[in-house]
Structure 1
Amino acid sequence: MSVRPAISEDIPELVRLRQILADRMAQDGSYPVDVHWRETYAESLRERLGSSDTAVYVVDAPEGGLAACGIGLIFDRFPGPSLPDGRYGYIQGMTTDPGHRRRGHGRAIMVTLMEWYHAMNIRRIDLHATSEAEPLYRELGFSDDGYPSLTWRSPS
């Protein structure tokens, strides 16, 4: 197995894997779902693949398509005492196709993303985890940071 950067030809598979993750996340909590999200997700991937603030890594499935994927994003906010340059990372869309789970694909992608963040000198990385993936992230050094994670969503 090898991890590689995603290319534009991978976008349909990246959308398929994101749907698998959305279905899984719905089991852990409810959230509103926009009916056109797939189109806007694909468009955003087309715009951001290859940009300096986005890393999309994949593992190919032996039979074709993708077995797994993960996305790393870098954001800027105002600098502060614990984040002197204001830059932080967010890992999104870590997904392994159910037929390819328990083979180390997610771990390999996470290690590659962490190497990318290290090379970009990112000192803080956040993510949201499904209950199944939480043990892997904790093994890789992710922990509760002491502050509650709160979210506001528009009712419309």
Structure 2
Amino acid sequence: MDEARRATAADADELVRLRAVLPAHMSGRDPAGDDWRRAAADMFSVATDPDQRRRGYSRQCVTALLDWYRDQGIMAVFLRASEEGEPLYRSLGFTRTPDPAMRLRLPQA
């Protein structure tokens, strides 16, 4: 049996491939297909300075990111929303999942 070791830069391609295995499995897709890198994306740390809230900045940023994800062929987006942020994500089409995450399935053009 091999010993566990810390990942290195040389492991990057395999780590990215493995990152797609769970979402691919959950969606019923074959993670070994050509589109395994595009199974899903995550959004992290969307925040707005308290003095700048309610001006549409987060909506603009998130909408631009979602547009970019669509252009890249991403099929689903996952995030963990704060109570304050959840109305924004719901308005963009995200839905609550059984765990605390929310997911948006992007229709492909």
Flag whether TM exceeds 0.5 (same fold): yes
Aligned to 2:99: 148
Q: CA deviation at 1:83?
A: 5.9
Aligned to 1:49: none
Deviates more, 1:85-94 or 1:108-117: 85-94
User: What is the percentage of aligned positions where both structures have the same residue?
Assistant: 33
CA apart distance, 1:139: 0.5
Structure 1 residue 97 corresponds to structure 2 residue 49: yes
TM-score norm. by structure 1 comes to: 0.43
How far did 1:103 drift?
0.4
Q: 1:112 and 1:148, CA in 2 relative to 1: closer, same or farther beyond 3 A?
A: same
For structure 1, the residue ranges without an aligned partner over 5 or more in a row are 1-74, 151-156
**Structure 1 vs Structure 2 CA RMSD:** 2.2
Does residue 88 (structure 1) correspond to residue 40 (structure 2)? The answer is yes
Aligned residue among 54, 73, 77 for 1:121:
73
Q: 2:104 maps to what in 1?
A: none
In structure 2, the gaps of 5 or more residues are 1-17, 30-34, 102-109
**How much has 1:81 moved relative to structure 2?**
6.2
Name the counterpart of 1:77.
20
**Structure 1 segment 6-25 matched on structure 2, within 5 A:** none
**Greater helix content:** 2
- Residues 90 and 83 of structure 1: CA distance in aligned 2, closer, same or farther (over 3 Å): farther
Task: Kindly state the Cα deviation for residue 82 of structure 1 after the two structures are TM-superposed.
Answer: 1.6
Q: TM-score when scaled to structure 2?
A: 0.60
Residue by residue, what CA displacement relative to the aligned partner does 1:71-110 show, whole Å, maximum 9, x if unpaired?
xxxx832233626344210001101011111100000001
2:59 aligned partner, one-letter code: R
Structure with more strand by fraction:
1
Contact 1:89 1:124 in 2 (8 A): yes
